[in-house]
Amino acid sequence: MDATRARAVLARTPNLSAENLQALLAASAGELAAAATARAAARVELPPGARAALAAPDERAIDADLAWLETSGTAIVLASDAAYPPLLRQTSGAPAALYVQGEVGLLAAPQLAMVGSRSPTPNGRRTAREFAAWFARAGFTVTSGLATGIDAASHEGALASGGTTIAVFGTGLDRVYPPEHGALAARIRASGALVSEFPRGVAPLRSHFPRRNRIIAGLALGTLVVEAAADSGSLITARQAADAGREVFAIPGSIHSPHSRGCHQLIKGGAKLVESATDVTEELGFSMPKEPLTEPRDTSEPGRALDKEYEMLLDALGFEPATIDSLVARTELPSASIASMLLILELEGRVAALPGGRFGRTP
């Protein structure tokens, strides 16, 4: 077996950790080809499935992997390689191998993980986009999981600012999930990197995403949760970041919003409360910006001056989502008038319709 094939065998071996790989290499005098064999596997303690996979590799799958690696431009980065991300290597259970498309060297760059709700509020989505743009301009690589909602907004914000971003997959890199993010994944690959511990052909199984989350947390200096419900998967990423000794940050929200409960839970547990992007960069001691930094701001053109009734409606709406019935009670305006006014405000971008018949102000 040559070294290239050995890399493919080791990368496809299930449940193999960076620590397991080092043990295999130690048992093989550092020879990679010898480490990917049944003889080496018999000499060390391995997790379930790994020993059997090394004793009898799926040769057809390995052949297909090698062909795919060549045609797709995918690199295998082993934990024994210098290119393996150093922060990830320090975490418990770090994977023995990563599949990478794009800029491999970016894995060692200073990274900030951004995660949150898959169904965020318009404010949450915009906050993620603006914070990510700010962090990218400051020199961070923004790392997230390509999911809908906060993940996608974070990737988009980093790209829009001309910065770099890394997307960690819960599938093989030959399968973009969710499928509608194919174009976004292509943009990330062009100026950043796509990363997965899963080999070609692996589907988006539910159990894969906590494993993906540990890589997101392990790659980064800290994790920022933008919006999260009490049972959000992003809390798993935050917990894994804390377990790895990394900083955890959370943006607070309304006490009445279910999208804020996860963030408030984190803050109660010791996460740093974030009101501005500098709260994060100062906590991390990051002082090497690419350019002078300013806080994110809305650069859109001012809209029309509002009539008194529209101002009253926006004041009644406040900064928490509300239904038409509650707005009727607060303003004493007819429900038909409020519905019409909300439609106009929505068309102007001042208000957004939310699930459950609620409306919320945009930033």
**Which CATH number goes with the domain that contains 325?**
1.10.10.10
Same domain? 168 vs 216: yes
Same domain? 98 vs 119: no
State pLDDT tens for residues 131-178: 999 999 999 999 999 999 999 999 999 999 999 999 999 999 999 999
Residue numbers of the domain that contains 348: 308-361
Same domain? 58 vs 187: no
State pLDDT tens for residues 70-116: 999 999 999 999 999 999 999 999 999 999 999 999 999 999 999 99
Tokens (6 digits) for 119:
């169904």
pTM of the model: 0.83
Same domain? 117 vs 97: no
Of 104, 137, 159, which closes a domain?
104
Question: By the 8 A CB rule, do 142 and 114 touch?
Answer: yes
Q: What's the confidence (pLDDT) of residue 82? A: 95
Measured CA to CA, the distance from residue 306 to residue 316 in angstroms comes to 14
Same domain? 68 vs 144: no
Same domain? 269 vs 185: yes
Question: By the 8 A CB rule, do 143 and 112 touch?
Answer: yes
Q: What's the confidence (pLDDT) of residue 345? A: 87
* Count of structural domains, the chain: 3
Beta-bridge partners for 77: 98
Q: Residue 303: inside a domain, yes or no?
A: no
Is residue 354 scored above 90 in pLDDT? no
Same domain? 256 vs 116: yes
Same domain? 123 vs 98: no
For residues 169, 172, 174, 176, the Cα torsion angle rounded to the nearest 10 degrees is: -30
State pLDDT tens for residues 6-45: 999 999 999 999 999 999 999 999 999 999 999 999 999 9
Tokens (6 digits) for 9:
């065998």
Q: What's the confidence (pLDDT) of residue 292? A: 42
State pLDDT tens for residues 253-307: 988 888 899 999 999 999 999 999 999 999 998 754 444 444 444 444 445 677 8
Same domain? 53 vs 163: no
Q: Residue 302: inside a domain, yes or no?
A: no
Of 104, 137, 158, which closes a domain?
104
Cis peptide before 178 (omega within 30 of 0): yes
Q: Residue 198: inside a domain, yes or no?
A: yes
Q: Residue 156: inside a domain, yes or no?
A: yes
Q: Checking DSSP bridges between strand 322-323 and strand 193-196, what pairing results, if any?
A: unpaired
Same domain? 162 vs 263: yes
Q: Where are the alpha helices (DSSP H) in the chain?
A: 3-12, 18-26, 32-35, 38-41, 50-55, 59-72, 86-89, 122-138, 150-160, 182-191, 208-219, 234-243, 261-268, 277-283, 308-317, 324-331, 335-347
Q: Residue 312: inside a domain, yes or no?
A: yes
Same domain? 261 vs 317: no
**Which CATH number goes with the domain that contains 161?**
3.40.50.450
Question: By the 8 A CB rule, do 167 and 114 touch?
Answer: no
Q: What's the confidence (pLDDT) of residue 180? A: 97
Q: Residue 250: inside a domain, yes or no?
A: yes
Q: Residue 90: inside a domain, yes or no?
A: yes
Q: Residue 289: inside a domain, yes or no?
A: no
Is residue 231 scored above 50 in pLDDT? yes
Q: What's the confidence (pLDDT) of residue 299? A: 41
Same domain? 63 vs 177: no
| 271 sits in which H/E element | none
Phi, psi (deg, nearest 5) at residue 129 = -65, -45
DSSP string, 27-50: TTTT-HHHHTSHHHHTTS---TTH
Q: What's the confidence (pLDDT) of residue 304? A: 63
